[in-house]
Amino acid sequence: MQAGAKPGNASASRMPKTLPILASILALAFHAAAMAGLVEFNRDVRPILADRCFPCHGPDRASLKAGLRLDLPANASTPAMSGAVPIVPGRPADSELVRRIASHDDDLRMPPPPHAPLPQAQRDVLDRWIAGGARHEPHWAFVPPRRANPPVVARIAWPRNPIDLFVLAELERHGMSPSPEADRLTLLRRATLDLTGLPPTPAEIAAFANDGSPAAYEDLVRRLMASRHYAERRAQDWLDLARYADTRGFADDKPRDIWPYREWVVEALNLNMPFDQFTIEQLAGDMLPDATEAQRVATGFHRNSPQAKGQTYPEEEYRLKGVVDRVNTTGTAWLGLTLACAECHDHKFDPIPQADYFRVFALFNNTEHSGSGFAQGGPLLPIERAGRKLSAPVMRERSMPRETFVHVRGNFLNPGAKVAPGVPSLFGVPEHEMPRDRLGFARWLVNGRNPLVARVFVNRLWQACFGHGLVRTPADFGLQGESPSHPELLDWLACEFVESGWDMKALHALVINSATYRQSARRPAANPDPANRLLGWMPRTRLPAEQLRDSALAAAGLLSQGAPTPDAAPFFPPQPDGYWEDRDLPGTWTATEGPGRHRRSLHIYWRRSALHPTMELLDAPARTVCIARRNSSNLPTHALVTLNDPIFVEAQLALAQRVLREVPDDASRLDLAFQLVLGRHPDPEERDRFLGFVAGNASPARAWAGVAAVLLNLDEALNRP
Partner 1 sequence: MNTHGLDRRAFLGRSAAGIGTLALASLLNPCAMGGAPGLPHLVPRAKRVIFLFMAGGPSHIDLFDPKPLLNQLDGKPIPAHLLRNHQQFALIRGTPAFKPSPYSFRRHGQSGITLSSLLPNLARVADHLAVVRSMHADSNVHDPAVHLMNCGTLLADRPTLGSWVSYGLGSENSDLPAYVVLTSGVSDGQPLLQSFWGNGFLDSRHAGVPLRNSGPPVLHLANPEGVSIAERRRQLDLARWMNERRHDALGDPEITSRIASYELAFRMQASVPELTDLRREPESVLRLYGTDGVRPSFARNCLLARRLVERGVRFVQLYDRGWDSHTDMDREHRRQCAAGDQPAAALVADLHQRGLLDDTLVIWGGEFGRTPVAQVSGNTWGRDHHPHGFTVWLAGGGVAPGITHGATDEFGYHATENRVHVHDLHATVLHLLGIDHRQLTFRTLGRNFRLTDVAGSVVRPLLRHSA
622 to 641, contacts with partner 1 by CB under 8 A?
622, 624-625, 631, 633-641
- Strand-pairing partners, residue 255, are 247
For the bound state, the minimum distance from the C-beta of residue 548 to partner 1, rounded and expressed in Å, comes to 13
Among 65, 313, 418, 433, binds partner 1 (CB under 8 A): 313
Among the candidate windows 208-216, 380-388, 395-403, 610-618, which touches partner 1 by CB under 8 A?
610-618
Residue 630 burial (10 A CB sphere; 0-12, 13-18, 19+): middle
Closest distance to partner 1 from the beta carbon of 695 (Å): 12
Residue 247: helix, strand or coil by DSSP?
A: strand
Least separation in angstroms between residue 254's CB and partner 1 is: 12
Who's near 434: CB < 8 A, 6+ residues apart?
420, 421, 422, 423
Which of 436, 586, 591, 662 lies at the binding interface for partner 1 (CB under 8 A)? 586
Q: How many residues bind partner 1 (CB under 8 A)?
A: 98
* Residue 199 sits in the site that holds partner 1 (CB under 8 A): no
Residue 376 or 614 having the CB closest to partner 1:
614
Which residues lie closer than 8 Å to 700 by C-beta, 6 or more apart? 660, 694
Smallest distance from partner 1 to CB 574, Å: 12
Q: Name the residue nearer to partner 1 (CB basis): 337 or 515.
A: 337
Measured from the CB of residue 198, what is the shortest distance to partner 1 in angstroms?
22
On whether the CB atoms of residues 342 and 356 are closer than 8 A, the answer is yes
- Torsional sign, CA 593, 595, 596, 600: positive
- Other beta carbons less than 10 A from residue 74's beta carbon: 8
Instruction: Tell which positions 71-130 bind partner 1, by CB under 8 A.
Output: 114
Smallest distance from the beta carbon of 485 to partner 1, in angstroms?
12
Using a 10 angstrom Cβ sphere, with 0-12 exposed, 13-18 middle and 19 or more buried, the burial of residue 234 is buried
Binding segment for partner 1 (CB under 8 A), chosen from 166-174, 207-215, 342-350, 389-397, is 342-350
Q: Are 360 and 423 in contact (CB under 8 A)?
A: yes
Instruction: Count other Cβ atoms within 10 Å, centred on residue 302.
Output: 27
The footprint of partner 1 on residues 350-389 (CB under 8 A) is 350
What's the rounded Cα separation, in Å, for the pair 379 and 494?
A: 36
| Binding flags for partner 1, 688-707, as an x/- string (CB under 8 A) | -xx--x--xx----x---x-
Q: Does 585 bind partner 1 (CB under 8 A)?
A: yes
Which CB sits closer to partner 1, 344 or 506?
344
How far is Cα 457 from Cα 506, in angstroms, rounded to an integer? Answer: 13
Point out which span in 365-373, 549-557, 573-581, 595-603 binds partner 1 (CB under 8 A).
573-581
Tell me the DSSP string of 568-623. -S-B-----TTTTGGGT-SS---PPPGGGGGS-GGGB---TTS--HHHHHTT----
Collapsed DSSP state (helix, strand, coil) of residue 66: coil
Using rule CB under 8 A, residue 530 touches partner 1: yes
- Is 591 a binding residue for partner 1 by CB under 8 A? The answer is no
Stretch near partner 1 under the rule CB under 8 A, chosen from 71-79, 98-106, 151-159, 608-616? 608-616
526 is a site residue for partner 1 (CB under 8 A): no
Burial of 523 (0-12, 13-18, 19+ CB in 10 A): middle
Element at 542 (helix H, strand E): strand 541-542
**How far apart are alpha carbons 498 and 443 in whole angstroms?**
14
Question: Binders of partner 1 among 238-257, rule CB under 8 A?
Answer: 249-251, 253
For residue 367, give the DSSP letter. Answer: B
Verify binding: residue 178, partner 1, rule CB under 8 A.
no
User: How far is C-alpha 371 from the geometric centre of its chain's CA atoms?
Assistant: 32
- By beta-carbon proximity to partner 1, the closer residue of 1 and 85 is 1
Rounded Cα distance, 226 and 427, in Å: 37
CB of 142 to partner 1, least distance (A): 14
344 lies in the binding site for partner 1 (CB under 8 A)? no
Site for partner 1, residues 21 to 80, rule: CB under 8 A:
21-22
* 49: nearest Cα among 302, 285, 349: 349
Among 160, 523, 681, 687, binds partner 1 (CB under 8 A): 523
Enumerate residues 430-489 that contact partner 1 by CB under 8 A: 473, 475-476, 478-481
> Are 354 and 425 a contacting pair, CB within 8 Å?
no
The least distance separating partner 1 from the CB of residue 57, rounded to whole angstroms, comes to 16
Question: Among residues 240 and 267, whose Cβ is nearest to partner 1?
Answer: 240
Name the residue nearer to partner 1 (CB basis): 284 or 677.
Answer: 677
What is the smallest separation between the CB atom of 307 and partner 1, expressed in angstroms? 13
Identity of the residue, 508 or 549, whose beta carbon is nearer to partner 1 in the bound complex = 549
DSSP class per residue in 376-427: G-S-EEEEEETTEEEEEE---B-SSPPPEEEEGGG-TTSEEEEE-----GGG
Is 582 among the residues that bind partner 1 (CB under 8 A)?
yes
The piece of 127-135, 219-227, 391-399, 574-582 that touches partner 1 (CB under 8 A) is 574-582
Between residues 294 and 320, which has the closer beta carbon with respect to partner 1?
320
Min dist. Cβ of residue 711 to partner 1 (A): 8
Site for partner 1 in 535-564 (CB under 8 A): 540, 542
In angstroms, how far is CA 603 from the centroid of its own chain? 20
Residues 6+ apart with CB under 8 A from 293: 381, 383
Distances (CA, A) of 707 to 99, 154, 159, 556, 691: 69, 48, 41, 12, 9
Query: CA-to-CA distance for 197 and 554, rounded, in angstroms?
Result: 10
Nearest distance from C-beta of residue 146 to partner 1, angstroms:
24
- As a whole number of angstroms, the distance between CA 188 and CA 174 comes to 31
Segment interacting with partner 1 (CB under 8 A) among 26-34, 361-369, 451-459, 518-526: 518-526
Contact between 657 and partner 1 (CB under 8 A)?
A: no
**Is residue 341 a contact point for partner 1 (CB under 8 A)?**
yes
Nearer to partner 1, 208 or 349 (CB): 349
Which one of the spans 36-44, 140-148, 220-228, 603-611 is the region binding partner 1 (CB under 8 A)? 603-611
State the minimum distance, in angstroms, from the CB of residue 357 to partner 1: 15
> In this structure, what is the dihedral angle of CA atoms 661, 664, 670, 671, given to the nearest 10 degrees?
-100
Residue 649 C-beta: closest distance to partner 1, Å: 4
525 binds partner 1 (CB under 8 A): yes
Q: Give the footprint of partner 1 on residues 246-305 (CB under 8 A).
A: 249-251, 253
Cβ 634 to partner 1 shortest distance, Å: 5
